[in-house]
Amino acid sequence: MTGHVGRVKNPEDIAVIGAGIGGLCTAARLAKAGHNVTIFEASNRTGGKCRTEWIGRYAFDTGPSLLTLPAVYRDFFQRTGDVMGRVLEIEEVNPSFDYRFHDGKSVKFANLSRKKTLASIEQSLGLEAASEWNRIMLQAEAMWDVSREPFIESELKSPVSLL
């Protein structure tokens, strides 16, 4: 991440629409810079889609279920005046996913292990499914390699900078 949140000379009143993770982080950075921020949220709770709904003993994530880029969150806490480890603890969950299908089949995705995930897919769904999943992951890695710096690590100064 680039840039620095400093105090503004002329604070403004700013409205942030939505108290999801993006809205809350935006509001915190604006407030840290010295602006007067008001957050407007239609729901009766904050967090947006980042929550869990329980049905019996089963938990269903309604939004993000992975912390794919911990460095982005560490950067946010640093820029707003705290250390992430003092506020929250990140704990590895294994397996990352346990998919269960109507026909009784299931697939477990081991945390950060492509080899174990491929073996699980092959065992449950067959070699062709595992090969297809691996092909898709290789395509995703190629897209990530191209998009990481301009879309994730660079500060967005204007829509033109995305072109």
Q: To 10 degrees, the CA torsion angle through 125, 93, 145, 122?
A: -10
**Structure confidence at residue 65 (pLDDT):** 63
Question: How sure is the predictor about 3, in pLDDT bands with cuts at 50, 70 and 90?
Answer: very low
- Residue 35: inside a domain: no
The one-letter code for the residue type at 100 is R
Burial class (CB in 10 A: 0-12, 13-18, 19+), 29: middle
Grouping H, G, I as helix, E, B as strand and the rest as coil, residue 135 is: helix
- Residue 147: inside a domain: yes
- Residue 1: inside a domain: no
The string of pLDDT tens digits covering residues 93-138 is: 888 888 899 999 999 888 778 899 999 999 999 999 999 999 999 9
Range of the domain at 136: 92-155
- Residue 41: inside a domain: no
Domain count within the chain: 1
- Among 43-47, 142-146, 152-156, the range with the most confident prediction by mean pLDDT is 142-146
- Residue 137: inside a domain: yes
**Structure confidence at residue 102 (pLDDT):** 94
Please state the φ and ψ torsions of residue 5, each to the nearest 5 degrees.
-90, 110
**Is it the case that residue 5 has pLDDT exceeding 60?**
no
C-alpha span between 78 and 80 (Å, rounded):
5
- Residue 105: inside a domain: yes
- Residue 118: inside a domain: yes
- Residue 39: inside a domain: no
